[in-house]
Structure 1
Amino acid sequence: MTANSSSLRSRSMELLMLYQRDRSIKLRNQLVQLNMGLVRKIAHRISHQCVEPYEDLEQIGYLGLINAIERFKPDQGCAFSSFAVPYIRGEILHFLRDRGSAVKVPRRWQDLQKEGQRARMRLTREMGCPPNEQQVAEALGISLTEWSEVSIAIKNRLPLSLDATVQQTDSSITLGETLPDPKYFINQHLEEDRQQLQRAMSQLEDKLRTAVEFVYYSGLSRKEVAERIGVSPMTVTRRIHRGLDQMITFLQVQPVPTDN
């Protein structure tokens, strides 16, 4: 992680804390500015799988980002980027569903899908059993994340109505009824992030951890913290910055779950 990236993450975390106490448009706009890269990354990835212009997807993505900012609660111990991704992706995908856009599969992914089928047959013969997705990806020389994206894109070249029947029985169900509750995945990410955040906190020196906990978990001002622990407000600010920087560095080396 670069020093600039670390500084941006630290600043974003501070602004999110402030926004819980002062929900001003100015603070919200600052948070949007700091997290524009997240929206652009998601919009760029999805733009390769549909016919809508990237610029339109980016603008819709910002609506999802704002929704995430409004709903984010720092005291839940969650990294904002992990919390925001489902909202940004969801807003864009809802837009595509409403537009009824067909999925556009890049030629390279079409070629990879064909190579993957051949690789799967070859590995089955060699191993005596079907390979898993990781083994197929390794045989193609690509990451598991990209191979998953290829497979999903190929399966979803044409949009399906959520009202389409997927089970012909006495009690038929629709495709929409089979979809998992998005809140489950959000809560799952929240719990994973909470645990990672707790591990990061445990790595800090006592004086750094105390400053961070008093300000961000107890809601005390820097002046109140300074009076409580017997140092100057400037010292409290320096300890918070050092603590956040160290936590971000620690979190950066943790495995990041994919959004497949």
Structure 2
Amino acid sequence: MTTKSLSARTMELLIAYSRNPSVKLRNQLVELNTGLVRKVAHQVNHQCAEPYEDLEQVGFIGLIRAIERFNTRSGCAFSSFAMPYIRGEMLHYLRDKGSIMRIPRRWQELHTKGKKLRKELTIALGRMPKDTEIANGLGVSLQEWRECKLALQNRLLLSLDATVGSLPDSTATLEDTLVDPRYHLMQNWQEDRQQLHGAISQLEEKTQAAIEFVFLRDLPRKEAAKRIGISPMTVTRYLHRGIDQLSSLMEPQVA
């Protein structure tokens, strides 16, 4: 079955399930989307000591939760919706078992260099660089850069899940409180944009204005400076500061 036909069949069954939930329909949906669970299980398995089979079984719980919660009128692809639930269930399982995500030192160093390079490229290009541009600048393959980012994101989410679980009287799980839209490799631009705006809103007022005028409204720095009431040079300083702060807000910190 092609990806397109799989998606169409999945949506057809999801609509039927939303109208008349049944174990039979749910099992059909699970069977159709087993590949999502296997994909995430392989990714997480490379970064922890837990057996692949255990992660896969836990992942199916996340898939079922996604099936039960999916809104067929949302306009969102089911795979994009389900992946954070699947991964969140695995990370919650690792948290409960006290497992530690293994991050190779090379990837920690690569991630730090990547964050610095991304900041430099953003200033030079006037936009956020693509993964391919960062990978080329680092001299590594696109696959390695994405795997490096994913590993650090996994560790961040595991840490955040532990924080949520440690709150008094808290029963909230990771996917209930922080289904990170960036986590499934920036699959949905609308969700990415929402998170970016959320991070920007945490910046100091003039830094926020500089970022919005130059990068989101595509204004020349001279025009941005005029609107903010500062010099173009100061706009540049605010941009540097803002990009650095956004990197901290939107990326996991390397210990």
Gap regions ≥5 residues in structure 1:
166-175, 194-258
* Aligned equivalent of 1:145: 146
Distance in 2 of aligned mates of 1:20 and 1:7: 20
Corresponding residue to 2:39 among 41, 44, 50: 41
Matching of residues 108-257 of structure 1 within 5 Å: 109-114=104-109, 137-138=135-136, 139-143=138-142, 144-152=145-153, 162=163, 181-182=177-178, 185=181, 192=190
> Could you state the TM-score of these two structures normalised by the residue count of structure 2?
0.53
Work out the CA distance in 2 between the residues paired with 1:160 and 1:32: 25
More RCO (CA 8 Å, sep 6+): 1
Q: Offset of 1:110 from its aligned partner?
A: 3.3
Q: 1:43 to 1:10 in 2, by over 3 A?
A: same
Structure 1 contact 102–159 (Cα < 8 Å) conserved:
no
CA deviation after TM superposition for structure 1 residue 44, in Å:
0.7
Q: By how many angstroms is 1:148 displaced?
A: 1.4
The structure-2 alpha-carbon separation of the partners of 1:100 and 1:15, relative to structure 1 and needing over 3 Å to count, comes to: same
Q: Can you give the 5+ residue segments of structure 2 that lack an aligned partner in the other structure?
A: 167-171, 192-250
- Are the equivalent residues in 2 in contact too, given 1:62–1:88 (CA < 8 A)? yes
Corresponding residue number in structure 2 for 1:245 = none
Larger Rg: 1
Q: 2:86 is matched with which residue?
A: 88
Deviation at 1:59, TM superposition (A): 0.2
- Offset of 1:112 from its aligned partner? 4.5
Q: By how many angstroms is 1:89 displaced? A: 1.0
SS at match of 2:163: coil
Distance in 1 of aligned mates of 2:33 and 2:79: 8
Distance in 1, matches of 2:154 and 2:180, equals: 23
Deviations 1:186-206 (A, max 9, x none): 9x988938xxxxxxxxxxxxx
Q: Which amino acid aligns with 1:111?
A: R
- Taking only aligned residues, the RMSD between alpha carbons, in angstroms, comes to 4.4
Change (3 A) 1:78 1:119: closer
Distance 2:109 2:13 in 1: 47
State TM-score, norm by structure 1.
Answer: 0.52
Structure 2: distance between partners of 1:164 and 1:21: 34
- Matched ranges for 1:45-60 at <5 A: 45-60=43-58
For 2:81 and 2:158, how far apart are their aligned partners in 1? 28
Cα gap change, 1:44 to 1:183, in 2 (>3 Å): closer
Cα distance in 2 between the residues matched to 1:65 and 1:97: 19
Inter-partner Cα distance in structure 2 for 1:181 and 1:160: 9
Aligned length: 172
Decide whether aligned partners of structure 1 residues 137 and 155 sit closer, same or farther in structure 2, where only a CA change above 3 A counts. farther
Q: Is the 8 A contact 1:110 1:154 kept in 2?
A: no
Q: 1:159 to 1:73 in 2, by over 3 A?
A: closer
